[in-house]
Amino acid sequence: MKIIFAGTPENSALALELVSKTHEVVLVITRPDAEVGRKRILTPSPVARMAKELGLSVMKTNRIREDELAKIKAAGVELALVVAFGSLIPQAALDVMPWWNIHFSLLPKWRGASPLQQSILSGGIGAGVTLFELDAGMDTGPIIASQQIPLGENETTGEALERFTIVGVNLFQQQAGKQKVATPQSGEATFAPKLNRTSARLDLSENALSVHRAVMAFNPEPIAWCELDGSPIRILETRSLGTSTWTENPSKGRVSKSSEKILLECLDGSRLELVIVQPSGKQAMAASDWFRGLSEVIHLA
């Protein structure tokens, strides 16, 4: 089948690579080159790089306007697939052909920019992939196929996203070319907002399991963080120790060493293990290396 593919980040590049093995991708739509790193080097998106590697035609744009719409019409395809493009597809383009979207939760539970992260934050509620047809609303179109996917206890968004992407592409492969049978969405819908640095500040008054889920959800971006003596420290990896109360006199944010583990205590007395941290101005490191040389007990905020 001849298709258009629209996407931007790394997992979208993976989806493009997989889809191109069984379908003729006539046109790839992705976001324009963006400045990356401290030197602000103008860099093509992962999808643009993959398209170049595959020898595919690429259109870079933030919005589909008249010129872009003309190229879409000229492509002469039956279907478009969207995987994290990053911009809304306007009604004028939706009128040209069906646009299917791979969404990283079970709709309608999490609609918006951070569905997988919200699934992790909630302990797996709504975790899965939905293939649906785009309409004028935000993630409101009819469902073509879906699959529930369990999350690992210590699985980050970055780790889960690759796995979920493969499942989503498999759903697309199973449905593409078949007579479409789409079902209207039903059930409670919850908005999954775009995450930022403020969203990723850890609330150490929560129990340790909730804090651990936040660390997993915000990795690889925007990365969970808190403060030590007024300076930010990023928390990249933790290990859950359950929700048992470990002390009769809990102290929010208290960090101590037990055996070879670096433990963070939350307000209810529950604790989790710090595995990888990144102090301000330094590289990511093992929590044990970071804690070495510090006081016997310190406090994060």
CA 159 vs CA 82, 118, 216: distances in Å: 21, 15, 9
Below-70 pLDDT ranges, the chain: 243
Q: Is residue 45 part of a domain?
A: yes
Q: Residue 159 is part of a domain; what is its CATH number?
A: 3.40.50.170
pLDDT of residue 247: 73
Looking at the structure of the chain, the number of domains it has is 2
Helix (H, G, I), strand (E, B) or coil at 265: strand
Q: Are residues 135 and 275 in the same domain?
A: no
- CA–CA distance, 201 with 271 (Å, rounded to integer): 18
Domain termination residue (choose one: 192, 227, 257): 192
pLDDT of residue 200: 97
pLDDT of residue 29: 98
pLDDT of residue 243: 66
Domain that holds residue 184: 2-192
Compute the C-alpha angle 86/92/94, nearest 5°.
65
Helix (H, G, I), strand (E, B) or coil at 213: helix
This prediction's pTM: 0.94
pLDDT of residue 14: 98
